[in-house]
Amino acid sequence: MTTTITVNSALDQIGWGRFQKKLLWVCGASWAADAMEVLLIGFAIPSLIADWGISRAQGGQLASALFFGMLVGAWGWGMLSDYVGRKFGFVATILIDSVFGLLSAFSPNFWILIIFRFLTGLGVGGTLPVDYAIFGEYLPTKNRGRYLVYLESFWALGTIIAAGLAWLIVPRLPEVGWRYLLAASAVPGLIVVWIRRAIPESPRYLMVKGREEEARSILLQVAEENGVALEFDALQAETAQKQVPLKTIFQGQYLSQTIMMTLTWFLISLGYYGTFVWLPGIFRAQGFTFLATYQATFILALAQLPGYFSAAWLVEKWGRVRTLGVYLIGAAVAAYVFAITTNLTGIMIASTLMSFFALGAWGALYAYTPELYPTSARGTGMGWSGGIARIAGVLAPIVGARLLDVNLVLALTVYAVTFALAGIVVFSMGRETMGKPLEDTIA
C-alpha cells in the first residue's frame, strides 16, 4: 500500500532535533549580527561627532540610511524568496550585510558612510523574511512559536555584545571608536556565510513549486540527521495555482491580518527604535555620566533575555495574541514611567522593565507573523511587515532627534503611546494561531 503524507505531518514526525538546533544557531548568529549593525550606530554617533563634527540631525540621517536600505531589502528579498526559493537569499543577504558592514568601518567621509550603511541595510532587511521563512518552515507544529521566539532572542545577544563593545571601546577611543564598532558588527556574519551554503532548500517551498521528489529527499535527510525513522512513499501534492504572493496577502482572509500587522509593526518599531537608537543620549540627558551611560545600556541589554524567554514560554501557554498584547501594554507603561521619573534608581528600574517588555513583544511578534500566511506568500508577508518596520525605522531617528531637542519627557511619552496603540491593535484584530499547522496552499 502506498503511504502518502503531508509536509506538516512529516515535520511533526521528525520533530525538534539536531537539524533544527543547527539551523537555529546558524540563523541566530546572523540575527545577532543584525542587532549589532542596527544598534551600534547609536553608540557610534558620539564618536562620529567627536571625529567628524557631525550634528545630531546628521546622526539621525545616518541611522535612517540603514533603515531605508532595510526597507528595500525586506520587501525585495521577501518577494524574491517566494519566487526563487529561500536558500539563495539565505546566503546572499548575510554576505551583503557583512561585506558592506565591514566597508563602513573604512569610510573616508560622511557621505560614503551613508552609502555603505544603506547597502548594509539591503542585506540586514533581507535576513528578516528569509531567515524566519526557512526556519519556521522546518519546525514541527508543537512549540513552533517558542522556537521562533528563541531565534528572535539572538537579537538580545547581539544587543548585549554591542553594548559591551561600546562600553569597552568608545570611552577609550572617543574619536575613532566608531570604526572598531562597525568592523566588529560584520564579524559574525562573515563567519557563518559559508555554513549557510550547506542548509537545504525549504521542503514546503519545493512542494508549492511542484518539486515533490526534491522535497521528499530533503525531509528524509533531515529525519536521518535527527535520528528519526521516517518512511513514506509520496508527499501529498499542494494545490496548483498561479502564485501572486503580494496579491495573496491583501485578499480574502489574509487582508485583515495584513492590516493588523502593518499597524503593529509600524507602531512597535517607532517606539523601539525611537527610544533605543537614542538611548545613550537619553541617559546623558537624565544625568548619567559618560561611563555610567554605557553601563546602564549594557544592563538594559541583559534585561532583554528574560523578556524573550518569558515570552517564549507564554506564547505556548497564553497564545500569541494575548502574550503580544500584554507585553506591548507593559512596554507602554514602563516607557511612560521612564519619561516622568527623575530619580536615577527609578530611571534604571523603569528603563529595564521597558527593555524587558519591548523585546518580549518583539519575540512574540516574530513568532506570530509567519504563522498568518501560506507558504506561497510567507516570505512576502514577512517582508511586507519588515518593510513597514523599516519605514518606522527611517522616521524614528529623525523624529527622535527633533523631539529630544524639544523635550525629553515629550519624546518618551510619544513612544509610550505607540507601544500602547500597538497593543490595542493586536487585542482588537489578532487571530490566534497557537497549535495550528502552517498553511502550505493558497486560499
Residue 213: count of CB within 10 angstroms of its CB: 10
- Proportion of the chain above pLDDT 90, given as a percent: 20
In 242-314, where does DSSP find H-type helix?
A: 245-248, 254-276, 279-285, 290-314
Q: How would residue 404 be classed by pLDDT, with cut points 50, 70 and 90?
A: low
- Residue range 39-67, pLDDT digits in tens: 777 777 777 777 787 776 777 777 778 88
Q: How far apart are CA 263 and CA 422, in angstroms?
A: 7
In sequence order, which residues have a C-beta less than 8 Å from that of residue 60 and are 6 or more positions away?
A: 397, 398, 400, 401
For the stretch 365-393, pLDDT in tens is 988 998 888 877 788 888 888 888 888 87
Of the candidates 50, 257, 276, the one whose C-alpha atom is nearest the C-alpha of residue 174 is: 50
Average pLDDT over residues 90-100: 89
The torsion angle over the Cα atoms of residues 21, 27, 30 and 34, rounded to 10 degrees, is -120
pTM > 0.75: yes or no:
yes
Instruction: Give the separation between CA 341 and CA 339, rounded to whole angstroms.
Output: 6
252 Cβ partners below 8 Å, 6+ apart? 443
| Residues near 221 by beta carbon (within 8 Å), at least 6 away in sequence | 200
* pLDDT, position 22: 93
**Cα–Cα dist 405/126, whole Å:** 33
Contacts of 220 (CB under 8 A, 6+ apart): 230
Choose the weakest-confidence range: 31-35, 236-240, 389-393, 423-427. 236-240
- pLDDT tens for residues 284-334? 776 766 666 767 777 877 888 898 889 989 998 999 999 999 999 999 999
Domains of the chain: 4-429 (1.20.1250.20)
Phi first, then psi: what are they for 4, rounded to 5°? -120, 130
